[in-house]
Structure 1
Amino acid sequence: MELLLTYDVDTTTPEGQRRLRRVAKLCEGYGLRVQKSVFEIITDEKDLLRLQNALQDTMNLDTDSIRIYRLTHGSLNHVQTLGTASIQPHRDDLIL
């Protein structure tokens, strides 16, 4: 499944700044960062549940916001960009 994940973490406190880094790290483990707080993710239902649980354990439910949009299959192949944005190779081999 293809997802678009966005987050907004309250960083007005040092704890919020730590949460922001943890949320970003979690998302980096599942998808490609396409903007500062936006990730494009290709995953299966099992890994999505793992990600959701980890995010819920990390975020402050009273101040932070995470949105996950399920896209139709193939949507990430038809992204249009403007400015400095570039198309990300989601299904290519990853080099670590």
Structure 2
Amino acid sequence: MTYDVETVTTQGQRRLRKVAKICEAYGHRVQKSVFEVVCRETDKVRFVAALREVIDPNQDSIRIYRLPAYALDDVEHLGKPRPVDPRGALVI
């Protein structure tokens, strides 16, 4: 999932921090505004609901890419390795 939150205003900066916290609770950050989230459908529903409560749909954008099972096995990665396996346990 990726997000782009307006940060020109103080309210936007607050929303950005809240969106990041929600994402950290469900997945692993792989870039500044990109997370790998592996979850069950029920968790996805909760995740999306939490994000909807925080964002301003007129200014912010969230994109969730649904991938086939085991798609992360085929990710080609260049540079610094992943710190964690996104399918592994998530400790909050």
Q: Give the TM-score taking structure 1 as reference length.
A: 0.87
> Aligned-pair RMSD on alpha carbons?
1.3
Distance 1:15 1:95, change over 3 A: closer
Distance 1:77 1:47, change over 3 A: same
Structure 1 unpaired stretches of 5+? none
Seq. identity, %: 51
Q: Give the TM-score taking structure 2 as reference length.
A: 0.91
CA deviation after TM superposition for structure 1 residue 83, in Å: 2.5
Residue 10 of structure 1 aligns with which residue?
A: 6
The range that moved more, 72-81 or 58-67, is 72-81
Residue 53 of structure 2 aligns with which residue?
A: 57
For 2:11, the aligned partner's letter is E
Q: Does 1:92 align with 2:80?
A: no
How is 1:1-96 mapped onto 2 (pairs within 5 angstroms)?
5-84=1-80, 86-87=81-82, 88-95=84-91
Q: How many residues align?
A: 91
Q: Is the CA contact 2:5–2:59 (under 8 Å) kept in the aligned structure 1?
A: yes
For 2:42, the aligned partner's letter is K
